[in-house]
Structure formats: structure tokens, C-alpha cells
A and B are shown apart, each in its own frame.
Chain A
């Protein structure tokens, strides 16, 4: 059952050293910056972080990296125009990188949330990113075996929640939120607005509250979009 907590610090309480943390967002869109800031204040260490990217500028995920709290990052597109924090850590061997094709990242997270043990996927066959993975031909097409990515905790951002944890998102800020919400032991969601049950039309709920554990309302001001970075 979802619990509404008072602030971001309470929302991330209990995350321990060595945790695997799924962090939503595609670049800055949908990145739960205030939850990440609380994680920085908690000083938890040795984290494995899953995100599409590896931080932008010096805020949010980049600040978490800069604070030396991340041991390993699993992502699809670390290198961007403003990923200098990650670039420096990677080049000096202070953070480990597992590079995963973007669709595999999403599907591996979804699989974790859906109770799938592993799945055969055609993406990456014959490329360096499939090396060492089990390969199988099914109906004349080649696939590689991909395993789920589970989180100890997921930190995501949505537009609005009701107190039961039903969520709606906003535009392309939805991105990894719905799959990450399913895939962690504890799912923590920051939203702009929390309403009473009935305040969200059941037909438009994107993430049902069963996947949500902690909710915090934060009057977030999204950072400006940063143009020109791929992936």
C-alpha cells in the first residue's frame, strides 16, 4: 500500500550502502531530481544506478556521481554534450559502466517487474554487446538471452498521484517510470500533486498504485531542456 510521506528525505530513508537504484528519466525529462538530492544528503554509498543516461551538467544524477556514491552505472547512452562528470569518473576508472541497448534496458526492467526469468531478444545479435550471451535461433531468427534488471529501490517522477499511488505522467517525461515502478522492492515516486482517490479518472491511470510504495509531493521546477545531446 502506498504511503504519503512528508518530504524527500523521508521518501529515501532506509536505502542502504550497496543498493541497486533504478532512477527514472531520459536526460532531464522525468528525472526525479529532488529525490536524488535527498539520496545525496543521505550519503549512502557503493550504489549501482540504472538510468538511460549518466547525468547532465552538475545536478541530479550527475551530482550523485560527483559525490562519489555510485560504484556502477547501467545505462544506454552515457556520453552526452554535458556528461562531463561521468566522463571524468569513467576515464579515471572511478565508476564502472555496463552499456545496454536502450530497448533492452527497458525490457530487462519490465521483465523484472513482470516476473520473467529471462527472455530471448533480437537486439544486438552479432555485435560486441551480445558477446558471451547465450544465442538461440527461433523460427529462423537469431536471438540473445537477456536477464531482468531488478532494483532494491526505484526513484521516479510523475505528474500526479492519488493517495493510493495511482499515477499519471506528463508527455515524454513518462519514459522509464512505468517499468521502473514495477521492478523494485521499494518504489518511491515524487509528484507535482497528490489528490484524493477518485481525483484521477481510472481510465487514464498509467501506473496502478499496486506498484507504488512511497509518495512525496514536491513542487518541482524542471530544469530547462538541454539541447544537442544524443541518445
Chain B
């Protein structure tokens, strides 16, 4: 069992807190895909002795830390097209095989960002639906339905204060009923067949949170 980090419940979590919290929930020896942006930060808190193997959908297992300076190799990129390094025991493969790892149920966990997650686990994270927005999906849909467990790491409220954990997604969907846990600055939520279970809250009371989200929050 990995030691759970503890945080001051009277203030919201910052980005590093969240990444540390997600990292602590990843079982030893898991195969994990970390999405672009904030989820990538989780790697900073995975100690090597945990034996977690990172997958990147452009065709590699055993992704190491970001490469800098002379270590940059234009043929060695992660899914965010950031130069990375390889760890001992790394493997390369083509795109079809890489996505077979997801769809085929071989990838244990993926951690993704989101615009919205619904109480029943629908995910919206690829397109705002804006008329001027150029849509881009990448591997988001494949990861959402392919990984055995999908963790979302996001802020709980949008910049204009609207909840992003919602009864029904209004943005175009990425996948149906695929998200199992939602890690946010104000609380950690487990999405179950019986409703939204709150594992912890930060910087807000459970009652206030339930009111802002408009949902009955169950306790674990």
C-alpha cells in the first residue's frame, strides 16, 4: 500500500498537491498513460521503485522524464510532442499496436484532463463545440473507452465559476460512462453506479460543495 499524502482540508489543493494525490492512488506495477498538460505532472510524483510503466500513445512504453539540452532527440517524443527520455526496459511499437493496448484492455489507468464530467461518468474533453474552434481529438476517445480505469484531473469550477462535474455534459462527448474518479482542487470524487461518492473535500464543506454542484454527495 502506498502512503496517502495528507493535506490541509481548509484550503483547496494546488496543482502539485493534485498530482501527488493521483500518483499515490496508482498501484505498483501499473501501466499508465498520462494525458497532455496537467496529468503529465503526475509523473513527477511516481517514485521509480513503484515500478509504474508509462505509456505514450505515439508508440512507447517506459517513457522517462522530459529531455533537455543534449539529451533532446527529435525521434523521441511523447504524445504532447515534447522531447522525452527512455527508461531501461522501454519498448517502441507502431500506432496500431499502441492503440490495441488501450482498446484491448491492457492499459491499467489513464489520467486525463476534462472540460466536463457527468455524475454518471461521461467525459467531455476534446471540443468546446465553438463555431470558430478547430476540432482536434487525438487519442482522447481511444483512451477514454480503452483504459481499464479513467481518472480525471481538473479544476472543479471553470473560470466563470461554473461546475465542471455536472448532471449532464453540455460539451461534445469524448466517451460514455468511462470516468471512475475525479480529482479536483476542491474534492476527490468516486463515480459509482449508486451516485457520486466524496472521498475528501478541500477548502469547502461537503454541504456547500453539494449545493454548488447540485448533487447529493455520498460519503465513502
Residues on A lying within 8 angstroms of B by beta carbon are 26-30, 52, 76-80, 87, 90-91, 97, 99-107, 109-110, 121-129, 169-179, 206, 222-231
Q: Tell me if B98 counts as interface (CB < 8 A to partner A).
A: yes
Residue of B whose beta carbon sits closest to that of A109: B96
The answer to whether A121 and B103 touch across the interface, beta carbons within 8 angstroms, is yes
Q: B77 contacts which chain A residues (CB < 8 A)?
A: 26-27, 29, 172, 225
Cα distance, A172 to B83, chains bound together (Å) = 10
Q: B95 contacts which chain A residues (CB < 8 A)?
A: 26, 52, 102-103, 105-106, 175-176, 179
Q: B94 contacts which chain A residues (CB < 8 A)?
A: 106, 174-179, 206
Q: A107 contacts which chain B residues (CB < 8 A)?
A: 96, 99-100
The answer to whether A27 and B142 touch across the interface, beta carbons within 8 angstroms, is no
Contact of A101 among B36, B86, B100, B139 (CB under 8 A): B139
Cα distance, A225 to B98, chains bound together (Å) = 21
The answer to whether B142 and A123 touch across the interface, beta carbons within 8 angstroms, is yes
Residue of B whose beta carbon sits closest to that of A104: B142
With A175-B58, A225-B82: A106-B103 Cβ-Cβ less than 8 Å = no
The answer to whether B102 and A103 touch across the interface, beta carbons within 8 angstroms, is yes
Cα distance, A206 to B95, chains bound together (Å) = 13
Q: B137 contacts which chain A residues (CB < 8 A)?
A: 76-77, 99-102, 129, 231
Q: A99 contacts which chain B residues (CB < 8 A)?
A: 135-137
Q: B139 contacts which chain A residues (CB < 8 A)?
A: 76, 101-103, 231
The answer to whether A124 and B138 touch across the interface, beta carbons within 8 angstroms, is no
Residue of A whose beta carbon sits closest to that of B172: A128
Residue of A whose beta carbon sits closest to that of B56: A172
Q: Tell me if B73 counts as interface (CB < 8 A to partner A).
A: yes
Cα distance, A127 to B146, chains bound together (Å) = 15
Cα distance, A190 to B158, chains bound together (Å) = 47
Q: B79 contacts which chain A residues (CB < 8 A)?
A: 230-231
Binds A, one of B160-168, B173-181, B207-215: B173-181
Contact of B73 among A104, A126, A171 (CB under 8 A): A171
The answer to whether A125 and B145 touch across the interface, beta carbons within 8 angstroms, is yes
Extra contacts, 9 of them, besides A229-B81, A231-B80 (Cβ < 8 A), are: A29-B74, A78-B135, A78-B136, A90-B134, A101-B138, A122-B146, A125-B145, A172-B56, A227-B83
B118–chain A nearest beta-carbon distance, Å: 12
The answer to whether B57 and A228 touch across the interface, beta carbons within 8 angstroms, is no
With A76-B137, A172-B75, A230-B136: A110-B59 Cβ-Cβ less than 8 Å = no
Q: Tell me if B72 counts as interface (CB < 8 A to partner A).
A: yes
Q: B78 contacts which chain A residues (CB < 8 A)?
A: 172
The answer to whether B75 and A170 touch across the interface, beta carbons within 8 angstroms, is yes
With A127-B172, A127-B175, A172-B75: A26-B81 Cβ-Cβ less than 8 Å = yes
With A126-B176, A172-B58: A103-B81 Cβ-Cβ less than 8 Å = no
Cα distance, A122 to B99, chains bound together (Å) = 12
With A76-B137, A76-B139: A122-B103 Cβ-Cβ less than 8 Å = yes
Q: Tell me if B46 counts as interface (CB < 8 A to partner A).
A: no
Cα distance, A127 to B172, chains bound together (Å) = 7
Cα distance, A123 to B99, chains bound together (Å) = 10
Residue of A whose beta carbon sits closest to that of B122: A126
Q: Tell me if B141 counts as interface (CB < 8 A to partner A).
A: yes
The answer to whether A171 and B136 touch across the interface, beta carbons within 8 angstroms, is no
